A and B are shown apart, each in its own frame.
Chain A
Amino acid sequence: MGVPIFITAVTNCCWIGADNCVILGILGTDLSWISKVQVNHPAVLRRAQQVQARRTVKKEWQAAWLLKAVTFIDLTTLSGDDTSSNVQRLCYKAKYPIREDLLKALNMHDKDITTAAVCVYPARVCDAVRALKAAGCNIPVASVATGFPAGQTHLKTRLEEIRLAVEDGASEIDVVINRSLVLTGQWEALYDEIRQFRKACGEAHLKTILATGELGSLTNVYKASMIAMMAGSDFIKTSTGKETVNATFPVAIVMLRAIRDFFWKTGNKIGFKPAGGIRSAKDALAWLSLIKEELGDEWLKPELFRIGASTLLSDIERQIYHHVTGRYAAYHDLPMS
């Protein structure tokens, strides 16, 4: 992909995406900065390695950080064998993520600690909405869409998928981008597609999954992040969890830097969601400290940061159990999700 083509593509975007012209108006005058962006792979890898060891929090600080991490989780089930019963169980866990007595011991039982959202396949949205209503809470339901996870279906059906999920009550839509557009350098077309996703979402939040494991290079990750944000995503998300390489620190660093650049250029804060492969409490802490380091405390809230995970929650609960009781929990000590 030659840089000049990229510039024209992006410049053209400004005229096509008429209803997003506020942001693009700011960006549109000078876009040469995007083409100048350089991502040095080995340097980012080194930074990624450091960031995981740079901050260690222990004791009550650790417990506090872990509880905070719970509130960022998009509790997820995306399996072929999902049925209403396990979705219901998931929703209940989302409402009561940590055992009540443990929270009481930490004096956090009245802080209404829940996960940030539950995330399911479009066909299970109704089940989730119903279950959460029954549990009496307003945790949002997120649905993946647009031919998840590969995105290799017709645009028409992908758009229809979004509309149906929104109709069913999903208030957040996780769309996957068309990787072939990135790999062949069709940035304008990519921008167009995400614009259409945006429209189809209506009021619902749009989280754009970049599937970074399949984009080829970190420079592509940066550019795709930038396009996704310009096209109106509320969040950019690392991966579907179905690729061979999922949320890694190097791609996260590049995406976070793109978010920061976008904020500096436009004043708009876009959210970030790593997903896939985040399983341990220790991982979660490293992610939190990465956000704090790269973007600052203002991004550490559910409106701007989510972790897509399914098994992470039980490990966090396990750590909290240990912090409170001084013992390591048996498998049956903690309710399953």
Chain B
Amino acid sequence: MAWQHPADILLEAWLDTQDRHLGHYVNGKWLKPEHRNSVPCQDPITGENLASCLQAQAEDVAAAVEAARTALENWSTLPGARRAQHLTRLAKMIQKHQRLLWTLESLVTGRAVREVRDRDVPLAQQLLQYHAVQAHTQEEALAGWEPMGVIGLIVPPTFSFLEMMWRICPALAVGCTVVVLVPPASPAPLLLAQLAGELGSFPGILNVISGPTSLGPVLASQPGVQKVAFCGAVEEGRALRRTLAGQGLELSLALGAESLLLLTEAADVDSAVEGVVDATWSDRSQGGLRLLIQESVWDETMTRLQARMGRLRVGRGLDGAVDMGARGAAARDLAQRYVREAQSQGAQVFQAGDVPSDSPFYPPTLISDLPPASPCAQTEVPWPLVVASPFRTAKEALAVANGTPRGGSASVWSERLGQALELGYGLRMGIVWINAHGLRDPAVPTGGCKESGSSWHGGPDGLYEYLQPSGTPARQPSLSENLNYDTFGLAVPSTLPAGPETGPSPAPPYGLFVGGRFQAPGARSSRPIQDSHGNLHGYVAEGGAKDIRGAVEAAHQAAPGWVGQSPGARAALLGALAAALERRESALAARLERHGVELKVAKAEVELSVRRLRAWGARAQAQGHTLQVAELRGPVLRLREPLGVLAIVCPDEWPLLAFVSLLAPALAHGNTVVLVPSGTCPIPALEVCQDVATLLPAGLVNVVTGDRDHLTRCMALHQDVQALWYFGSVQGSQFVEWASAGNLKPVWVNRGLPRAWDQDAEGAGPELGLRAAQTKALWLPMGD
């Protein structure tokens, strides 16, 4: 090329400072170990070699984690104000070198420079500034929480450096240090780490190593790493979830990139068409789009969409006048394969736009008439494809939109306020935009639900991802290597009659409490419960897979009614339950006494349980709030929505208090629950069920007794259980983590560690409230 753009010259100069040989950036220095494989970093359009990049090995990962651990000691104990200062300095550093950053990012990823320059880079700075403010107020606003420690972050190839910023900013702000594993040949994160390193102080807080995603488990297994945050493809996330089961660290997943656009007949169709462009054909998002169009405006929308597509320009990312760049051979092949398959399944394919004929480019593509039952219609839509399908009514649109395992982001286009809100609230998605698509802001939490993974970044939720309640014990690697996932809890030990029942009190009604009444278990067998002297106290029903199935069904049926209740009504019912518990105090205390609890302590336990119910009822009233976003006229609602059907395995200890402490926040936040009570002492929980039966709607609370491992297995593998809390053995925790990969339900496990249920911090702390609901951000731009 005869004439070189000044930006290119700048880029070449930077690469030359590294002798066109990029290593890792660890502890404020470039790390270039010898005897490593290297991969070329290429211009995706010309194939020209820009530099070679080292592939990390396990030792390099260990070195990076070591640097992060060392830095953590100092960084995590700094006053928030000092951390804020440092983040602000980094924001300024990015501002000073933004041209290099955007050129590098656009050149290597192939994305249109306009998007990187005008959106990503300013947003990266805003992220740092927003989180600097959060760090500043941390001591006040986040009292009772402490940083987790070293965070491992795994970013896949197709994601921009901004995805990394979304995660490292909150982590650094709250006092964690970070090791980022980026795919080889993605130099922008390395440049960012260098900019951070060149600030001088705190060199080891941000370390970037480049290597294949397969190093993820190695990164996770390093001592000191408390949490791994992964973003990428769904299947990779699933695999990582299974691999890391039982390793004693937190894993947060942000999976998939498909988005959804719902276009009603009451929409400004032209603007909605621009929304489609924003969503897929403007290099803003990583994935494709599912487009649902109301039948009555189908033809009109297709005409406008196709006309608009004809004016799109595809070309080299650094060209200032293109809409869409190239994303490399892998992305193109993926798109090609999908299109070919869709065609073979009967779909219509429309492609248009000004696209260079040479190979790395893929034109904007619109697919329609794809039969809903075809395999293609089920799989994730890749970039830069839009799959359009019609719907008849808003109700049907919701059913179609919610009928996929994905729960990332969606937009609703309707000028009718009532309809737009109905759809916005009804979509099971992490983010919903009304009459807009793809807006982001540091103050607004971004995340998802279902198989999109339940991790959050941005806003208050992003901070909690990297915080733990003060005093949480450090991670103990506890992988029991030989846990056989195939057989864990598979068989139920058979029980025979165990001698005469002793003691005075008649047992509560026999059976499993499912669907609002006590029912005989499917297996028609029972298990004996012994008191503290080893005498037989009574029999409880032996629940099994079928009983769990029935309980989950009952819970699903009860869910819409309970969600529809106002928080006030929920609080009233919890209050009524508390009052009933109070009346039952002596009976409950007697039960507990039989299990070896001193009468005074037993009474205290009942009393505390009553208080917990009332407290959560009151807390349920204050949920969610409105966020104000710069540059957006109108509010963003941060909604706290129920998880759905929540399965809870209660700990053996504190048979009543733990049961109530877990039940209360779950109900207060609108969930319906299936509980497995204490294994050694399930009777108090069943006592409570007698009051539940008369006070609460049927199916809201289901209590299944039986073999804990077996019931845990059934619930963890149940695809329609939407979240699971497990308090039991180390093996059980590991199994739950492993099995949750199935529907990627959020899980909370205790890893065999006891919990002080009688202390407010652990028994009724804000952590429970956080875990009992999921966030949804609803954007409501306004204007006339």
Residues of chain A touching chain B, judged by Cβ–Cβ distance below 8 Å, are: 36, 38-47, 53-58, 217-218, 257, 264, 292-293, 296
| Cross-chain contact A40 with B268 (CB below 8 angstroms) | yes
| Cross-chain contact A47 with B320 (CB below 8 angstroms) | no
- A residues within 8 A CB of B783? 41-42, 45
**Other than the known A43-B271, A54-B323, what 4 A-B pairs have Cβ atoms closer than 8 Å?**
A38-B268, A40-B415, A42-B783, A56-B114
A32 to B118, CA, bound (A): 40
> Which B residue's beta carbon lies closest to that of A61?
B321
A58 to B320, CA, bound (A): 9
- A residues within 8 A CB of B270? 257
| Cross-chain contact A53 with B271 (CB below 8 angstroms) | no
Q: Interface readout for B765-784 with A: 1 if CB under 8 Å, 0 if not?
A: 00000000000000001111
- B residues within 8 A CB of A58? 320
Can you list 28 A-B pairs, Cβ within 8 angstroms, ordered by A?
A38-B266, A38-B415, A39-B268, A40-B267, A40-B268, A40-B271, A40-B435, A41-B783, A41-B784, A42-B436, A42-B782, A43-B271, A43-B272, A43-B274, A43-B781, A45-B783, A46-B436, A47-B271, A47-B274, A53-B118, A55-B320, A56-B320, A56-B321, A57-B321, A58-B320, A218-B784, A292-B311, A296-B311
Instruction: Place the interface of chain B in its size category.
Output: 20 to 34
Q: Across the A-B interface, give the 7 residue pairs with the lowest CB-CB distance, nearest first.
A: A43-B271, A56-B320, A41-B783, A40-B268, A42-B781, A38-B268, A42-B783
> Which A residue's beta carbon lies closest to that of B319?
A56
A58 to B7, CA, bound (A): 14
> Which B residue's beta carbon lies closest to that of A57?
B321
User: Is B742's CB within 8 Å of the partner chain A?
Assistant: no
Chain A facing B: main interface SS: helix
Residue among B114, B266, B634 having the largest count of chain A Cβ atoms under 10 Å:
B114
A214 to B749, CA, bound (A): 62
> Which A residue's beta carbon lies closest to that of B275?
A43
| Cross-chain contact A38 with B114 (CB below 8 angstroms) | no
- B residues within 8 A CB of A257? 270
- B residues within 8 A CB of A293? 311
Q: Interface readout for B89-132 with A: 1 if CB under 8 Å, 0 if not?
A: 00000000000000000000000001000100000000000000
- B residues within 8 A CB of A43? 268, 271-272, 274-275, 435-436, 781
User: Is B633's CB within 8 Å of the partner chain A?
Assistant: yes
A56 to B322, CA, bound (A): 9
CB within 8 Å of A: which B735-784 residues: 781-784
A38 to B265, CA, bound (A): 10
A42-B436, A44-B271, A58-B320 as given contacts; A53 in contact with B781, CB under 8 Å:
no
- A residues within 8 A CB of B415? 38, 40
B296 → A minimal CB distance (Å):
9
A64 to B783, CA, bound (A): 38
B119 → A minimal CB distance (Å):
10
- A residues within 8 A CB of B634? 42
- A residues within 8 A CB of B435? 40, 42-43
- B residues within 8 A CB of A39? 268, 271
A217 to B268, CA, bound (A): 14
| Cross-chain contact A55 with B311 (CB below 8 angstroms) | no
- B residues within 8 A CB of A38? 266-269, 415
Query: How many residue pairs bridge A and B at CB < 8 Å?
Result: 58
B402 → A minimal CB distance (Å):
24
Q: Interface readout for B627-659 with A: 1 if CB under 8 Å, 0 if not?
A: 000000110000000000000000000000000
Residue among B268, B272, B413 having the largest count of chain A Cβ atoms under 10 Å:
B268
A246 → B minimal CB distance (Å):
19
A119 to B541, CA, bound (A): 93
Q: Interface readout for B315-344 with A: 1 if CB under 8 Å, 0 if not?
A: 000001101000000000000000000000
Out of A45, A46, A53, name the residue touching B114 (CB < 8 Å).
Answer: A53
Q: Interface readout for B5-30 with A: 1 if CB under 8 Å, 0 if not?
A: 00000000000000000000000000
- B residues within 8 A CB of A36? 265
| Cross-chain contact B633 with A42 (CB below 8 angstroms) | yes
- B residues within 8 A CB of A54? 114, 321, 323
> Which A residue's beta carbon lies closest to that of B113?
A56
- B residues within 8 A CB of A42? 435-436, 633-634, 781-783
A292 to B271, CA, bound (A): 17
- B residues within 8 A CB of A44? 268, 271
A36 to B303, CA, bound (A): 17
B341 → A minimal CB distance (Å):
33
A44 to B275, CA, bound (A): 10
A264 to B270, CA, bound (A): 14
A177 to B436, CA, bound (A): 33
- A residues within 8 A CB of B320? 55-58
A36 to B301, CA, bound (A): 13
> Which B residue's beta carbon lies closest to that of A47?
B274
- A residues within 8 A CB of B118? 53
A43 to B275, CA, bound (A): 8
A278 → B minimal CB distance (Å):
21
Q: Interface readout for B259-281 with A: 1 if CB under 8 Å, 0 if not?
A: 00000011111111011000000
- A residues within 8 A CB of B267? 38, 40
B7 → A minimal CB distance (Å):
12
A21 → B minimal CB distance (Å):
25
A157 → B minimal CB distance (Å):
35
- B residues within 8 A CB of A292? 311
A136 → B minimal CB distance (Å):
39
> Which B residue's beta carbon lies closest to that of A37?
B268
- B residues within 8 A CB of A217? 784
CB within 8 Å of A: which B386-437 residues: 413, 415, 435-436
- A residues within 8 A CB of B274? 43, 46-47
Residue among A40, A42, A53 having the largest count of chain B Cβ atoms under 10 Å:
A40
- A residues within 8 A CB of B272? 43
- A residues within 8 A CB of B268? 38-40, 43-44
B440 → A minimal CB distance (Å):
13
- A residues within 8 A CB of B782? 42
> Which A residue's beta carbon lies closest to that of B270?
A257
> Which A residue's beta carbon lies closest to that of B323?
A54
- B residues within 8 A CB of A53? 114, 118
Residue among B320, B633, B634, B782 having the largest count of chain A Cβ atoms under 10 Å:
B320
- B residues within 8 A CB of A57? 320-321
A293 to B323, CA, bound (A): 11
Q: Interface readout for B192-225 with A: 1 if CB under 8 Å, 0 if not?
A: 0000000000000000000000000000000000
A217 to B783, CA, bound (A): 10
A264 to B265, CA, bound (A): 19
A223 → B minimal CB distance (Å):
14
A53 to B695, CA, bound (A): 61
B120 → A minimal CB distance (Å):
14
A47 to B399, CA, bound (A): 30
> Which A residue's beta carbon lies closest to that of B274?
A47
A57 to B320, CA, bound (A): 7
B738 → A minimal CB distance (Å):
44
Residue among B118, B272, B274, B303 having the largest count of chain A Cβ atoms under 10 Å:
B274
A68 to B500, CA, bound (A): 102
B524 → A minimal CB distance (Å):
61
A99 → B minimal CB distance (Å):
27
A58 to B782, CA, bound (A): 36
- A residues within 8 A CB of B265? 36
- A residues within 8 A CB of B413? 40
> Which B residue's beta carbon lies closest to that of A59?
B3
> Which B residue's beta carbon lies closest to that of A218?
B784
> Which A residue's beta carbon lies closest to that of B322?
A55
B280 → A minimal CB distance (Å):
15
| Cross-chain contact B436 with A55 (CB below 8 angstroms) | no
- B residues within 8 A CB of A55? 320-321
- A residues within 8 A CB of B266? 38
A296 to B633, CA, bound (A): 31
- B residues within 8 A CB of A40? 267-268, 271, 413, 415, 435
A142 to B633, CA, bound (A): 40
A296 to B312, CA, bound (A): 11
> Which A residue's beta carbon lies closest to that of B282?
A50
> Which A residue's beta carbon lies closest to that of B5?
A58
